[in-house]
Structure 1
Amino acid sequence: MLKHQNKSGCFYTLYGHLSKFSLKNNHVGKKIKQGQVFCWLGEAHENGGYIPHLYFQLMNDFDESLNDYPRVCSLSKLLAFQKNCLNPDFF
């Protein structure tokens, strides 16, 4: 999960299905420079047997006390989920 901040505010990006090696040199608060490689796709044995791929999600807000952000939700939480998750077409 990365926090992106500029003069007008911030948003968050979530990167899923990465290699465990990606965690080795990353930590909360680490600064990532534009263009810097900071993660790698996980192999099938790290992704429940799925071929290597990236799960990418954009969000307005993230409860930083959590360790993850749900990628699916119940119907009762759908409106809040849709309001918080950004459309990547905007970017």
Structure 2
Amino acid sequence: MKSGMAAILPFDLSRALPLDFSATNPDLLPDSGLDLTNTALFSAYVFGKLQAAGAQVGIGGYNEHRVIYRRSAHFGDVQAEPREIHLGIDLWAEAGTPVYAPKAGVVHSFADNANFGDYGPTIILQHDVEGAPVFSLYGHLSRASLEGLYEGKVFNAGDKLAEIGPFPENGDWPPHLHFQLMTDMLGHRGDFPGVCSLTDRARFLQLCPDPAGWL
């Protein structure tokens, strides 16, 4: 692990189970019978995969062209190009799992993005990386994770930041952490696109570098 970095979850992520949510996964085809709009069934699918593999956590998603966002109108409508390119890494683990700050920083902003399929409770930290600001986003948290927060609050690497939230308060997703880096907040506070369209892919991947090195 890099100097000044800490584990983000209390698991060995080198043993995490990769999970595929692209169209190449036959479990997600329309005729598979898996109703992704039913969060309880979706959650049973995810944690069934983890249990079958003997894994505590699932991982994946950066730059993945996903089909699971079709469950929610939040990611597109008939008049716009849908957003299906995932800009962060997902860590699928049980609700209540603690989330630790991977690097020292301060609270930039936070919000409860409560739309169906959105982030739910969200925290964004601001870090200094070689003299330049880098922002880290933690989505799908518990509502209790926002209690006592204020902008500018300091977190050292390894400090407990939050907990993974249960559905429906986590944006109505199977419990997981969405972790994403941004080099420019583009004026957003408490929120930032975690998914983009194919047209915007190159632009957003430049703004949102692969966060794997922070894990």
Instruction: Please indicate the TM-score interval, normalised by the length of the shorter structure.
Output: 0.7 to 0.9
Inter-partner Cα distance in structure 2 for 1:52 and 1:7? 33
Alignment of 1:29-40 (within 5 A): 29-40=152-163
TM-score (norm 1): 0.83
Alignment of 1:40-51 (within 5 A): 40-51=163-174
Inter-partner Cα distance in structure 1 for 2:178 and 2:146? 16
The residue aligned with 2:150 is 27
- Closer/same/farther in 2, CA of residues 6 and 47 from structure 1, 3 Å limit: closer
Whose RCO is larger (CA < 8 A, sep 6+)?
1
Structure 1 stretch 78-87 or stretch 58-67: which is displaced more?
58-67
TM-score (norm 2): 0.39
1:57 aligns with 2:183: no
CA contact under 8 A between 1:44 and 1:50: conserved in structure 2?
yes
- Offset at residue 49 of structure 1 (A): 4.2
Moved over 6 A (4+): none
Question: Cα RMSD over matched residues?
Answer: 1.9
Query: In structure 2, what residue type is equivalent to 1:72?
Result: V
Q: Which runs of 5+ in 2 are unaligned?
A: 1-123
Greater strand proportion: 2
**If you compute each CA radius of gyration, which structure gives the higher value, 1 or 2?**
2
The residue aligned with 1:88 is 211
1:78 aligns with 2:201: yes
Number of corresponding residues: 91
- Closer/same/farther in 2, CA of residues 6 and 87 from structure 1, 3 Å limit: closer
Q: Which runs of 5+ in 1 are unaligned?
A: none
Question: Counterpart of 2:126 in 1: which secondary structure?
Answer: strand
